Amino acid sequence: MPDFRHEDDLPRAARLVVAGMDEVGRGPLAGPVCAAIVVLDRNGPPLDVDDSKALSARAREALFAEICAGARAISFASASAREIDAINIRQATHLAMRRAVAGLALTPTHILVDGNDPPSGLPCGATAIVKGDSASLSIAAASIVAKVLRDRMMARLAAFHPEYAFEKHAGYGTARHLAALKAHGPCRHHRMTFSPLRQASLSF
C-alpha cells in the first residue's frame, strides 16, 4: 500500500508543500490526456488510498470525495486530442501536467511524479517514481483524481457521440470501440496520429 515514505525522504525544505502528480489517458484512441496534482493534509484523517488501477469505479468515486474534502489543494488539467496530434502524446502529457501545476492554489516546494519522465518547466524540484501510484500516497491520490475526472469527461463526450460508447471504455481501443470506428468513422475527439486511426485515415 502507498504511504508517505517518499515524502518523508525529501530534504526538510522540500517537505513543506509536497505534491503528488499523475496522468491518465496516454493510451486511448480518443479523448484528452489528463493530469492531476494533489497536496494532501498530513494532519487530516487517514486515507485508505491505493493505485487507482487497483480500485473499482465505486471505490475510486468514494475516495475521490474524501480526497477533495480533505486535501490542502487539488488541480486537474488536460490536453485535447487535437493537441496530442499536433505535438505528440509525450509532449501533450507534459503540457497537461504543467497546466495542472499552474492551477494549483498552493505553490509546491517539491513534486513527486509517477513514472520516469517528469515534465520540464516546473516551479520547483520534482522526483520521478516508477510505479509511484502504488508507493506514494500523494501520487496515489492524484491518480484517483485524474482517473475519476477523465472518466467523467468521457461520459460527457458519450452524450454527444453515443455511437462510440465512450462511457464504457473511456476511449481505449476495445473491440466495441473499434467496431464503432469501422461503422461510423472517427469524430473530432479521436487521435488521428494513433494506430489504427493513422493507417485507416485515408479510408474514413
Domain ranges of the chain: 5-197
Kindly give, in sequence order, each residue whose CB lies less than 8 Å from that of residue 12, ignoring residues fewer than 6 positions away. Answer: none
Please compute the mean of the pLDDT values over residues 16-39 and round it to a whole number. 98
Please compute the mean of the pLDDT values over residues 5-30 and round it to a whole number. 96
- Whether residue 174 contacts residue 13, with contact meaning beta carbons closer than 8 Å, is answered with no
The mean of the pLDDT values for the chain is: 94
Query: Which residues are paired to 76 by β-bridges?
Result: 36
Q: What is the pLDDT of residues 20-29, one digit of tens each?
A: 999 999 999 9
pLDDT at residue 91 is higher than 80: yes
Q: Please provide the distance, in angstroms rounded to a whole number, between the alpha carbons at the two ends of the chain.
A: 46
What's the sign of the alpha-carbon dihedral 128, 130, 132, 136?
A: negative
Q: Establish whether the linkage from the previous residue to 196 is cis, with ω within 30° of 0.
A: yes
pLDDT band at 203 (very low <50, low <70, confident <90, very high): low
Report which secondary-structure segment, H or E, holds 162.
Answer: none
Name which of 147, 1, 125, 129 is nearest 67 in CA terms. 147
Q: What is the pLDDT of residues 148-192, one digit of tens each?
A: 999 999 999 999 999 999 999 999 999 999 999 999 999 999 999
Name which of 34, 100, 98 is nearest 73 in CA terms. 100
Note the CATH architecture for domain 5-197.
Answer: 2-Layer Sandwich (3.30)
Q: What is the pLDDT of residue 202?
A: 46
Q: Give me 150's grid cell.
A: 477523465
CA–CA dist 45, 102 (Å, integer): 27
Q: Rounded to two decimals, what is the model's pTM?
A: 0.94
